[in-house]
Amino acid sequence: MLRLWRIYTNTLGTDSFAFDSDKLCREYFNPLLILDNIGIGRAVADKLVQLGYPNLYYMREDKVGYALNRPNKRELAVKLVEKINDESLITRYPPQIKELMEYQWINGYPEPTGKTHGDTIIPLMFISEFLDEIGIVQEASMFVGGRQIW
């Protein structure tokens, strides 16, 4: 739990964060990781490539990650608002709801106005953008001796 707290509070270095992310994601069957490829996200993406993580998102064939510049962030925010309004994307995570309430459009661009930096909103933006491509998780079931028991 301490490691998760350090990740959430940004007290963990990029190499350690990449190493822990690689280890955790491999335990959960290598889910697709979509990373910001600007600044700190780029350092984490480069380290994950170095570690050989098998399922990273590439914006272009030669560029790992997603360029989260202002125009792209604006487009992602618009799509997120559309999906929330049509109820095709719902969140019940309290910190995320609080951050959503703190976002405002400033000079035509979405900006967090509270103490946060959009740490929980950016992943939600990526989910709204890539949900159709990734697909919805199938409901779990369990079979024993060829019979479904759950």
Scored b (16 or more CB within 10 A) or e, 55-79 reads eebeeeeeebbbebeeebbeebbee
Could you give the 3-state DSSP secondary structure of residue 109?
A: strand
Residues 6+ apart with CB under 8 A from 108: 74
- Whether 57 and 73 map to the same domain: the answer is no
Q: Which amino acid is at 140?
A: A
My answer on whether 7 and 62 are in the same domain is yes
Tokens in use for 61? Answer: 């064939």
Entry field: residues in the chain: 150
Rounded Cα gap, residues 20 and 7, in angstroms: 9
Residues 99, 46: one domain? Answer: no
Chosen domain end from 67, 97, 125: 67
The full DSSP string for 34-62 is --B-STHHHHHHHHHHHHT-S-B-EEETT
- Its pTM stands at 0.72
- The angle at the Cα of 114, spanning 112 to 119, to the nearest 5 degrees, equals 55
Q: Are residues 3 and 32 in the same domain?
A: yes
Domain count, the chain: 2
- Which domain range does residue 40 map to? 1-67
Based on the fold, state whether residues 62 and 119 are members of the same structural domain.
no
- Are 89 and 61 in a shared domain? no
Per-residue pLDDT for 67 more than 80? yes
Rg (the chain; Cα; Å) = 17
* pLDDT, tens only, 110-150: 888 877 777 788 888 888 888 877 776 667 677 777 777 76
In a domain, 118, yes or no: yes
49 and 101 co-located in one domain: no
Confidence grade of residue 5 (pLDDT, cut at 50, 70, 90): very low
Q: pLDDT of 94-108, one tens digit each?
A: 888 888 888 888 888
So what's the pLDDT on residue 137?
A: 66
| Same domain? 53 vs 74 | no
Q: Which of 2-6, 8-12, 30-34, 135-139 has the lowest mean pLDDT?
A: 2-6
Which band of pLDDT confidence, cut at 50, 70 and 90, is reported for residue 50?
A: very high
* pLDDT at residue 138, as a whole number: 66
pLDDT for 38 beyond 90: no
Q: Is residue 142 part of a domain?
A: no
Residues in Cβ contact with 47 at an 8 Å cutoff, skipping those fewer than 6 apart? 14, 15, 18, 19
Task: Clarify whether residues 62 and 31 are in a common domain.
Answer: yes
Q: Is residue 148 part of a domain?
A: no
Quick check: is 115 in a domain? yes
